[in-house]
Amino acid sequence: MSIDLLLQSIAHRFPVRDANLDGETLSGLALNHGVVLRSSFRHSDFTGAALTGMVFQNCDFSAACFAGASFEKCTFVKCRAGDSDWRGATFARSSFVESDLGRSNLSDTRFTQTTAMRCVLACCILRGATLSQSAIMDCELTDLVLDGATLLNAAITEADLRSAQLTGMRCDTILLSECDLSERDLRGLLLARANLSGAKLNRANLSGVDLSGSILAGASLLGADLSHATAVNTLFARADLRAARLRSTDLKQCIFLDARLDGCDLSGAKLGMTVFTRASANAVSFAGADMSYALMHHTKVDGSDFSGTRFLRTDFHCASTEGSLFLAKHGSVLQTVPERAVAELYDTTRVIPFNGGC
Protein backbone atom coordinates (compact mmCIF):
# COMPACT_ATOMS: atom_id res chain seq x y z
CA MET A 1 0.00 0.00 0.00
CA SER A 2 1.23 3.48 -0.81
CA ILE A 3 1.16 6.41 1.60
CA ASP A 4 -1.41 8.18 -0.62
CA LEU A 5 -3.76 5.19 -0.43
CA LEU A 6 -3.29 5.07 3.35
CA LEU A 7 -4.23 8.74 3.65
CA GLN A 8 -7.24 8.36 1.36
CA SER A 9 -8.54 5.34 3.28
CA ILE A 10 -8.24 7.18 6.58
CA ALA A 11 -9.84 10.33 5.15
CA HIS A 12 -12.85 8.28 3.99
CA ARG A 13 -13.07 6.34 7.26
CA PHE A 14 -12.21 3.05 5.56
CA PRO A 15 -10.35 0.64 7.89
CA VAL A 16 -6.83 -0.11 6.67
CA ARG A 17 -6.01 -3.82 6.77
CA ASP A 18 -2.81 -5.80 6.17
CA ALA A 19 -0.91 -2.83 4.79
CA ASN A 20 2.90 -2.95 4.44
CA LEU A 21 4.57 0.43 4.84
CA ASP A 22 7.92 -0.73 6.18
CA GLY A 23 10.61 1.92 5.93
CA GLU A 24 8.23 4.60 4.59
CA THR A 25 8.46 8.29 5.51
CA LEU A 26 5.32 9.69 7.11
CA SER A 27 7.00 12.57 8.92
CA GLY A 28 4.90 15.67 9.45
CA LEU A 29 1.70 14.01 8.24
CA ALA A 30 -1.68 14.41 9.96
CA LEU A 31 -3.61 11.18 10.55
CA ASN A 32 -7.10 11.68 11.94
CA HIS A 33 -9.80 9.28 13.14
CA GLY A 34 -8.66 6.20 11.25
CA VAL A 35 -8.52 2.48 12.03
CA VAL A 36 -5.45 0.43 11.05
CA LEU A 37 -5.43 -3.35 11.51
CA ARG A 38 -2.67 -5.96 11.15
CA SER A 39 -0.37 -3.57 9.31
CA SER A 40 3.42 -3.19 9.33
CA PHE A 41 5.36 0.06 9.77
CA ARG A 42 8.77 -1.39 10.65
CA HIS A 43 11.55 1.22 10.49
CA SER A 44 9.03 3.83 9.29
CA ASP A 45 9.53 7.53 10.07
CA PHE A 46 6.66 9.37 11.83
CA THR A 47 8.84 12.28 13.01
CA GLY A 48 6.69 15.30 13.87
CA ALA A 49 3.48 13.59 12.72
CA ALA A 50 0.15 14.57 14.31
CA LEU A 51 -2.20 11.69 15.08
CA THR A 52 -5.70 12.28 16.43
CA GLY A 53 -8.33 9.64 17.18
CA MET A 54 -6.30 6.88 15.51
CA VAL A 55 -6.73 3.20 16.43
CA PHE A 56 -3.96 0.71 15.71
CA GLN A 57 -4.55 -2.98 16.38
CA ASN A 58 -2.06 -5.82 15.87
CA CYS A 59 0.31 -3.48 14.05
CA ASP A 60 4.11 -3.66 13.93
CA PHE A 61 6.07 -0.47 14.63
CA SER A 62 9.40 -2.14 15.43
CA ALA A 63 12.31 0.32 15.20
CA ALA A 64 9.97 3.06 13.94
CA CYS A 65 10.67 6.72 14.75
CA PHE A 66 7.97 8.91 16.37
CA ALA A 67 10.31 11.66 17.62
CA GLY A 68 8.41 14.89 18.23
CA ALA A 69 5.08 13.37 17.14
CA SER A 70 1.81 14.20 18.89
CA PHE A 71 -0.93 11.74 19.81
CA GLU A 72 -4.40 12.71 20.97
CA LYS A 73 -7.12 10.17 21.77
CA CYS A 74 -5.08 7.44 20.06
CA THR A 75 -5.24 3.74 20.94
CA PHE A 76 -2.63 1.02 20.39
CA VAL A 77 -3.90 -2.52 21.00
CA LYS A 78 -1.61 -5.58 20.84
CA CYS A 79 0.96 -3.67 18.83
CA ARG A 80 4.70 -4.37 18.57
CA ALA A 81 6.96 -1.33 18.86
CA GLY A 82 10.21 -2.67 20.25
CA ASP A 83 13.39 -0.56 19.79
CA SER A 84 11.31 2.40 18.61
CA ASP A 85 12.11 6.09 19.11
CA TRP A 86 9.47 8.34 20.75
CA ARG A 87 11.75 11.10 22.05
CA GLY A 88 9.93 14.37 22.68
CA ALA A 89 6.53 12.96 21.67
CA THR A 90 3.35 14.12 23.43
CA PHE A 91 0.39 11.93 24.36
CA ALA A 92 -3.02 13.17 25.48
CA ARG A 93 -5.94 10.92 26.45
CA SER A 94 -4.35 7.98 24.65
CA SER A 95 -3.85 4.34 25.61
CA PHE A 96 -1.59 1.35 25.03
CA VAL A 97 -3.10 -2.07 25.72
CA GLU A 98 -1.16 -5.35 25.70
CA SER A 99 1.51 -3.78 23.49
CA ASP A 100 5.28 -4.35 23.44
CA LEU A 101 7.50 -1.25 23.57
CA GLY A 102 10.52 -3.00 25.01
CA ARG A 103 13.89 -1.22 24.67
CA SER A 104 12.23 1.91 23.27
CA ASN A 105 13.41 5.46 23.90
CA LEU A 106 10.70 7.70 25.36
CA SER A 107 12.97 10.39 26.78
CA ASP A 108 11.42 13.83 27.32
CA THR A 109 7.96 12.58 26.34
CA ARG A 110 4.83 14.08 27.90
CA PHE A 111 1.88 11.90 28.90
CA THR A 112 -1.41 13.51 29.93
CA GLN A 113 -4.37 11.32 30.89
CA THR A 114 -2.69 8.42 29.10
CA THR A 115 -2.73 4.76 30.14
CA ALA A 116 -0.51 1.74 29.49
CA MET A 117 -2.13 -1.52 30.58
CA ARG A 118 -0.52 -4.98 30.54
CA CYS A 119 2.25 -3.72 28.27
CA VAL A 120 5.94 -4.64 28.01
CA LEU A 121 8.09 -1.62 28.89
CA ALA A 122 11.21 -3.53 29.85
CA CYS A 123 14.46 -1.58 29.31
CA CYS A 124 12.49 1.46 28.14
CA ILE A 125 14.02 4.89 28.69
CA LEU A 126 11.71 7.58 30.09
CA ARG A 127 14.49 9.90 31.19
CA GLY A 128 13.06 13.38 31.75
CA ALA A 129 9.55 12.26 30.82
CA THR A 130 6.45 13.83 32.40
CA LEU A 131 3.45 11.73 33.39
CA SER A 132 0.43 13.77 34.47
CA GLN A 133 -2.83 12.08 35.46
CA SER A 134 -1.53 8.99 33.68
CA ALA A 135 -1.21 5.34 34.65
CA ILE A 136 1.07 2.35 34.03
CA MET A 137 -0.87 -0.68 35.19
CA ASP A 138 0.28 -4.28 35.44
CA CYS A 139 3.16 -3.78 33.00
CA GLU A 140 6.59 -5.43 32.66
CA LEU A 141 9.04 -2.74 33.83
CA THR A 142 12.34 -4.58 34.23
CA ASP A 143 15.29 -2.13 34.01
CA LEU A 144 12.94 0.78 33.29
CA VAL A 145 14.75 4.15 33.32
CA LEU A 146 12.85 6.98 35.06
CA ASP A 147 15.85 9.19 35.87
CA GLY A 148 14.76 12.82 36.11
CA ALA A 149 11.15 11.94 35.27
CA THR A 150 8.24 13.89 36.77
CA LEU A 151 5.11 12.05 37.92
CA LEU A 152 2.14 14.22 38.89
CA ASN A 153 -1.08 12.52 39.99
CA ALA A 154 0.25 9.45 38.21
CA ALA A 155 -0.06 5.74 38.96
CA ILE A 156 2.22 2.73 38.60
CA THR A 157 0.55 -0.40 39.94
CA GLU A 158 1.48 -4.06 40.44
CA ALA A 159 4.97 -3.49 39.03
CA ASP A 160 8.39 -4.89 39.91
CA LEU A 161 10.56 -1.78 40.26
CA ARG A 162 13.53 -3.43 41.95
CA SER A 163 15.74 -2.84 38.90
CA ALA A 164 14.23 0.48 37.76
CA GLN A 165 16.44 3.57 37.66
CA LEU A 166 14.79 6.32 39.72
CA THR A 167 17.58 8.86 40.27
CA GLY A 168 16.21 12.38 40.46
CA MET A 169 12.64 11.26 39.87
CA ARG A 170 10.16 13.89 41.07
CA CYS A 171 6.66 12.88 42.09
CA ASP A 172 3.64 14.41 43.77
CA THR A 173 0.50 12.48 44.72
CA ILE A 174 1.72 9.28 43.08
CA LEU A 175 0.07 5.85 43.32
CA LEU A 176 2.56 2.97 43.65
CA SER A 177 0.08 0.40 44.92
CA GLU A 178 1.39 -3.19 45.19
CA CYS A 179 4.72 -2.28 43.59
CA ASP A 180 7.92 -4.05 44.61
CA LEU A 181 10.66 -1.63 45.70
CA SER A 182 12.46 -4.03 48.02
CA GLU A 183 16.08 -3.24 48.86
CA ARG A 184 15.99 -0.01 46.83
CA ASP A 185 17.78 3.16 47.90
CA LEU A 186 14.93 5.71 47.74
CA ARG A 187 16.76 8.56 49.46
CA GLY A 188 16.27 11.85 47.71
CA LEU A 189 12.78 11.00 46.43
CA LEU A 190 9.80 13.10 47.49
CA LEU A 191 7.02 10.67 48.38
CA ALA A 192 4.68 13.05 50.20
CA ARG A 193 1.03 12.21 49.59
CA ALA A 194 2.03 8.97 47.86
CA ASN A 195 -0.20 5.90 47.94
CA LEU A 196 2.02 2.90 48.64
CA SER A 197 -0.70 0.60 49.91
CA GLY A 198 0.29 -3.04 49.60
CA ALA A 199 3.75 -2.12 48.33
CA LYS A 200 6.85 -4.18 49.13
CA LEU A 201 9.56 -2.01 50.67
CA ASN A 202 11.49 -4.70 52.52
CA ARG A 203 14.97 -3.49 53.52
CA ALA A 204 14.46 -0.34 51.43
CA ASN A 205 16.39 2.79 52.40
CA LEU A 206 13.90 5.61 53.06
CA SER A 207 16.04 7.51 55.53
CA GLY A 208 15.35 11.22 55.40
CA VAL A 209 12.53 10.80 52.85
CA ASP A 210 9.39 12.95 53.09
CA LEU A 211 6.39 10.59 53.41
CA SER A 212 4.00 13.14 54.89
CA GLY A 213 0.35 12.31 54.29
CA SER A 214 1.19 9.08 52.50
CA ILE A 215 -0.71 5.78 52.63
CA LEU A 216 1.23 2.62 53.42
CA ALA A 217 -1.74 0.50 54.48
CA GLY A 218 -0.86 -3.18 54.23
CA ALA A 219 2.65 -2.38 52.99
CA SER A 220 5.61 -4.60 53.85
CA LEU A 221 8.60 -2.72 55.29
CA LEU A 222 10.52 -5.57 56.91
CA GLY A 223 13.92 -4.26 57.99
CA ALA A 224 13.40 -0.96 56.13
CA ASP A 225 15.33 2.14 57.18
CA LEU A 226 13.11 5.19 57.79
CA SER A 227 15.51 6.94 60.17
CA HIS A 228 15.11 10.73 60.25
CA ALA A 229 12.27 10.52 57.73
CA THR A 230 9.25 12.84 57.89
CA ALA A 231 6.00 10.90 57.93
CA VAL A 232 3.46 13.16 59.61
CA ASN A 233 -0.17 12.06 59.15
CA THR A 234 0.88 8.85 57.41
CA LEU A 235 -1.29 5.73 57.41
CA PHE A 236 0.53 2.51 58.38
CA ALA A 237 -2.58 0.46 59.16
CA ARG A 238 -1.90 -3.30 58.90
CA ALA A 239 1.64 -2.57 57.67
CA ASP A 240 4.50 -4.94 58.53
CA LEU A 241 7.42 -2.96 59.97
CA ARG A 242 9.14 -5.71 61.92
CA ALA A 243 12.82 -4.89 62.60
CA ALA A 244 12.47 -1.56 60.78
CA ARG A 245 14.62 1.41 61.84
CA LEU A 246 12.67 4.59 62.62
CA ARG A 247 15.18 6.43 64.79
CA SER A 248 14.32 10.12 65.22
CA THR A 249 11.55 9.79 62.61
CA ASP A 250 8.72 12.33 62.71
CA LEU A 251 5.60 10.17 63.03
CA LYS A 252 3.21 12.63 64.62
CA GLN A 253 -0.48 11.79 64.12
CA CYS A 254 0.33 8.58 62.26
CA ILE A 255 -1.93 5.53 62.42
CA PHE A 256 -0.40 2.11 63.11
CA LEU A 257 -3.73 0.34 63.59
CA ASP A 258 -3.19 -3.45 63.60
CA ALA A 259 0.38 -2.94 62.39
CA ARG A 260 3.31 -5.26 63.19
CA LEU A 261 6.23 -3.40 64.74
CA ASP A 262 8.02 -6.14 66.66
CA GLY A 263 11.73 -5.44 67.02
CA CYS A 264 11.46 -1.89 65.63
CA ASP A 265 13.77 0.92 66.67
CA LEU A 266 11.64 3.99 67.43
CA SER A 267 14.15 5.63 69.75
CA GLY A 268 13.96 9.41 69.65
CA ALA A 269 10.92 9.33 67.35
CA LYS A 270 8.20 11.96 67.46
CA LEU A 271 5.01 10.04 68.22
CA GLY A 272 2.67 12.75 69.44
CA MET A 273 -1.00 11.79 68.96
CA THR A 274 0.03 8.65 67.08
CA VAL A 275 -2.38 5.69 67.14
CA PHE A 276 -1.00 2.20 67.89
CA THR A 277 -4.36 0.54 68.61
CA ARG A 278 -4.14 -3.27 68.45
CA ALA A 279 -0.60 -3.11 67.07
CA SER A 280 2.01 -5.73 67.91
CA ALA A 281 5.08 -3.85 69.13
CA ASN A 282 6.97 -6.32 71.28
CA ALA A 283 10.67 -5.73 71.97
CA VAL A 284 10.51 -2.23 70.48
CA SER A 285 12.80 0.59 71.55
CA PHE A 286 10.82 3.74 72.38
CA ALA A 287 13.79 5.17 74.30
CA GLY A 288 13.78 8.96 74.30
CA ALA A 289 10.70 9.15 72.08
CA ASP A 290 7.97 11.77 72.52
CA MET A 291 4.65 9.91 72.97
CA SER A 292 2.45 12.78 74.06
CA TYR A 293 -1.23 11.90 73.68
CA ALA A 294 -0.38 8.67 71.84
CA LEU A 295 -3.01 5.91 71.90
CA MET A 296 -1.80 2.43 72.86
CA HIS A 297 -5.20 0.77 73.19
CA HIS A 298 -4.89 -3.04 73.27
CA THR A 299 -1.32 -2.74 72.00
CA LYS A 300 1.23 -5.46 72.79
CA VAL A 301 4.48 -3.85 73.91
CA ASP A 302 5.91 -6.70 75.97
CA GLY A 303 9.65 -6.42 76.52
CA SER A 304 9.83 -2.92 75.04
CA ASP A 305 12.08 -0.11 76.23
CA PHE A 306 10.45 3.18 77.27
CA SER A 307 13.55 4.57 79.02
CA GLY A 308 13.59 8.36 78.94
CA THR A 309 10.33 8.47 76.97
CA ARG A 310 8.19 11.57 77.30
CA PHE A 311 4.55 10.82 78.10
CA LEU A 312 1.62 13.24 78.29
CA ARG A 313 -1.72 11.57 78.88
CA THR A 314 -0.46 8.65 76.81
CA ASP A 315 -3.26 6.10 76.87
CA PHE A 316 -2.24 2.50 77.68
CA HIS A 317 -5.81 1.22 77.99
CA CYS A 318 -5.69 -2.59 77.97
CA ALA A 319 -2.12 -2.55 76.65
CA SER A 320 0.17 -5.48 77.45
CA THR A 321 3.44 -4.18 78.92
CA GLU A 322 4.90 -7.31 80.53
CA GLY A 323 8.67 -7.06 80.94
CA SER A 324 8.85 -3.50 79.55
CA LEU A 325 11.26 -0.89 80.94
CA PHE A 326 10.00 2.51 82.06
CA LEU A 327 13.22 3.94 83.51
CA ALA A 328 13.58 7.72 83.75
CA LYS A 329 10.30 8.29 81.95
CA HIS A 330 8.66 11.71 82.02
CA GLY A 331 5.05 12.86 82.17
CA SER A 332 1.75 11.11 82.73
CA VAL A 333 0.05 8.00 81.38
CA LEU A 334 -3.53 6.77 81.41
CA GLN A 335 -4.04 3.21 82.60
CA THR A 336 -6.75 0.67 81.81
CA VAL A 337 -10.29 1.75 82.68
CA PRO A 338 -11.88 -1.43 84.19
CA GLU A 339 -15.46 -0.55 83.28
CA ARG A 340 -14.49 0.16 79.69
CA ALA A 341 -12.46 -3.05 79.50
CA VAL A 342 -15.46 -5.10 80.62
CA ALA A 343 -17.77 -3.33 78.16
CA GLU A 344 -15.35 -4.07 75.31
CA LEU A 345 -15.73 -7.80 75.94
CA TYR A 346 -19.30 -7.70 74.66
CA ASP A 347 -20.37 -7.43 71.06
CA THR A 348 -23.20 -4.90 71.00
CA THR A 349 -24.32 -6.12 67.57
CA ARG A 350 -25.08 -9.59 68.90
CA VAL A 351 -28.27 -9.97 70.92
CA ILE A 352 -28.97 -13.25 72.75
CA PRO A 353 -32.71 -13.66 73.35
CA PHE A 354 -33.72 -14.42 76.92
CA ASN A 355 -35.57 -17.71 77.40
CA GLY A 356 -37.55 -17.76 80.61
CA GLY A 357 -37.70 -21.59 80.69
CA CYS A 358 -34.84 -23.86 81.71
Q: Which domains does the chain have, with CATH numbers?
A: 176-358 (2.160.20.80)
Q: What is the pLDDT of residue 342?
A: 82
Q: What is the pLDDT of residue 348?
A: 64
Separation CA 228–CA 265 (nearest Å): 12
Q: Are strands 310-315 and 290-292 parallel, antiparallel or unpaired?
A: parallel
Contact in structure between 289 and 267 (CB atoms under 8 Å): yes
Q: What is the pLDDT of residue 345?
A: 78
Q: What is the pLDDT of residue 357?
A: 45
Q: Are strands 135-137 and 115-117 parallel, antiparallel or unpaired?
A: parallel
Residue ranges of E strands in the chain:
16-17, 30-32, 35-37, 50-52, 55-57, 70-72, 75-77, 90-92, 95-97, 110-112, 115-117, 130-132, 135-137, 150-152, 155-157, 170-172, 290-292, 310-315, 330-334
What is the pLDDT tens value at each position of the chain, 358 positions in all? 889 999 999 999 999 999 999 999 999 999 999 999 999 999 999 999 999 999 999 999 999 999 999 999 999 999 999 999 999 999 999 999 999 999 999 999 999 999 999 999 999 999 999 999 999 999 999 999 999 999 999 999 999 999 999 999 999 899 999 999 999 999 988 899 999 999 999 999 999 999 999 999 999 999 999 999 999 999 999 999 999 999 999 999 999 999 999 999 999 999 999 999 999 999 999 999 999 999 999 999 999 999 999 999 999 999 999 999 999 888 999 998 888 888 877 766 655 565 554 4
CA angle centred on 261, ends 257 and 266, rounded to 5°: 105
What pTM, to 2 d.p., does this model score?
0.87
Separation CA 342–CA 87 (nearest Å): 67
DSSP string of 326-357? -TT-EEEEE---HHHHHHTTS-TT------S-
What percent of the residues of the chain are helix, what percent strand, and what percent coil, each to the nearest 5? Answer: 5, 30, 65
Beta-carbon contacts of 345 under 8 Å, excluding residues fewer than 6 positions away, are none
Instruction: Report the length, in residues, of the chain.
Output: 358
